Amino acid sequence: MPFPDFLQHEYPLKHLNTFSIDVRAKHYLRVTSLELLRAALADPQLAAMPRLVLGGGSNLLLTRDFPGLVLHIALEGRDILAGTPTHHHVRAAAGETWHDFVQWTLAQGIGGLENLSLIPGTVGAAPIQNIGAYGAETKDYFLSLSAFDPASCDVRVMGGAECRFAYRDSVFKHEGRELIILDVSYALPRAWQPNLRYAELANALAEQGLAAPTPQQVADTVIAIRRRKLPDPAQIGNAGSFFKNPVVSAEHCAQLLEKFPALVHHRQPDGSEKLAAGWLIDQCGWKGRTMGAAGVYPKQALVLVNNGGATGAEVQALAAAIQADVAARYGVALEPEPVFI
């Protein structure tokens, strides 16, 4: 039985993942409408094969050619909804670039997402990972999303409780992994106040003499900090922060502080302690080191990079070696942020 004409075959994915891993998809579809998505999954051959939903490819490590169907979500559109007396409501299609969406909200005079500026990836991927940076997370402003359920071919509208957001986690990494996000809506406060809980951001604004910064000034400062610390994926393949900051018990943290007084840690509301994964990796001597064509970024130990021609397996091996060293030295398990395929 022939495949539908809208498919492409043996499609290169190097330009569709920020690690620039050179692999191929057996079958590929750029999804530009819900109708096209329905048509693809209504085909018995396509519905039965392994499926990978791809957004910006920024939270992904491709370790091999993908043997099934890659659905590249390219849905577009942004709009301002009715809102409430206290909040602006904005919505964007899943294929919109996250940073462009944030900048668009600011251009409309709507603040709230500025701390999440320059995070790579798409709007549709943001809830999956519950992306966060500089004291803010997706869940802080999340209103709802629409998702296509391949099992029922229905579109579901989901609120925050259903999404079960946690630190770099959501239901979409677990039993909701088959759902395909179509669009996401956010509620942003009309009475905006800067979120300066993150000391590095607060200090950077103070150094500029910005005692009462605007949303755009906060965004510009976040962008400057990120560009200083993180490599541009267009120049050096990477997926941003590769490991989650581990959370340990207060007792474990106290034991570590006795042995390592300079340990970077942050008390959490529940009494646990979040450790700085980058510090742990740096102290193990990994910053700037390489394994094959994969390496640890010299300016930020939390970032693994493709120095040119690295395979997904090389990056995976490097990550495993770092995990082993951190576990041996600190008794702490590092969990990768990217999904390994």
Active-site positions?
Answer: 168, 241, 337
Contact 8, 27 (CB under 8 A): yes
- CA-to-CA dists, residue 40 to 4, 73, 120, 250, angstroms: 8, 13, 27, 50
| Encoded amino acid at 47, one letter | A
Q: What is the DSSP letter of 33?
A: S
Helix (H) / strand (E) element for 251: namely helix 250-259
Q: Which residues contact 210 (CB under 8 A, 6 or more apart)?
A: 217, 221
Count CA within 13 A, CB hemisphere, residue 123: 31
C-alpha to C-alpha distance for 201 and 222, rounded to whole angstroms = 7
Q: Are strands 87-93 and 78-80 parallel, antiparallel or unpaired?
A: antiparallel
Residues β-bridged to residue 169: 166
Residues 6 or more apart whose CB falls under 8 angstroms from that of 177 comprise: none
